[in-house]
Amino acid sequence: KQEVTQIPAALSVPEGENLVLNCSFTDSAIYNLQWFRQDPGKGLTSLLLIQSSQREQTSGRLNASLDKSSGRSTLYIAASQPGDSATYLCAVAFYGNNRLAFGKGNQVVVIP
Amino acid sequence: SAVISQKPSRDICQRGTSLTIQCQVDSQVTMMFWYRQQPGQSLTLIATANQGSEATYESGFVIDKFPISRPNLTFSTLTVSNMSPEDSSIYLCSVSLGLKVGGETQYFGPGTRLLVL
């Protein structure tokens, strides 16, 4: 079964620390992996998309890595700010499935 | 990129009634998706709505409960029929600019927050 897991479900960090969020998936045959941000009661905002042929993507303070062989992706947020407080969702497009499979998310609180 | 709007943004409904949610995209797209996010849970795909064909429903979702229209390449509706409190969720519309999932970034609307009493 093609599944996506995110651990921990929730974490709090003091402002200025680097955030490390983990996503694991059960099948290495993927098209791509996408990280989203969701604010309470809101829709999803795409942060980074990593194609299966790529190892990482960067956007500002955000860096996402992809290791298909081990079924893992990591989202790094440098020098966290209170505005980074949100839920971060990992989604994988698996081969043979014309849909995204989502993890349950990492709920992040950055403490001022 | 794609900008997606949804109406209504939120609603409170009585059990047994139906609600139709509208999704409008600022560009023509082939693939549109409807998701449900129950409280504390991640997103679950309800159905894929491609223009010119019947919607394809995921396991556990049926057309009688969640009828979908896709009259053109920029618009879709999802109806939640005969609602019960278990239908209280956020409903999200999403589009893929590619011809298949995984080709490009998937974009999401702001969601419709539904509470059924």
A51-60 per-position pLDDT tens digit: 999 999 999 9
| Residue B6 φ/ψ, nearest 5 degrees | -130, 145
Q: Do B48 and A98 touch (CB under 8 A)?
A: yes
Give the whole-angstrom CA distance, residue A44 versus residue A49: 13
Nearest to B101 among A36, A46, A99 (CB): A99
Chain length of chain A: 112
Span B9-22, pLDDT tens digits: 999 999 999 999 99
Residue B64, pLDDT > 90, answer: yes
- State the burial class of residue A1 (Cβ atoms within 10 Å of its Cβ: 0-12, 13-18, 19+): exposed
- Report the half-sphere exposure of A100 (CA within 13 A, side-chain side): 32
| Average pLDDT estimate for A21-29 | 94
A49 near B CB under 8 A: yes
Give the whole-angstrom CA distance, residue A47 versus residue A86: 12
Tokens of B101: 């999932």
Q: Do B90 and A41 touch (CB under 8 A)?
A: yes
**Residue A77, SS3 per DSSP:** strand
Residue B99, pLDDT > 70, answer: no
Amino acid at B106: Q
* Alpha-carbon distance values, B79 to A105, B2, B10, B38, B91 (Å): 27, 23, 14, 16, 10
Nearest to A104 among B6, B41, B45 (CB): B41
Name the band, by pLDDT with cuts 50, 70 and 90, for residue A99. confident
A103 near B CB under 8 A: yes
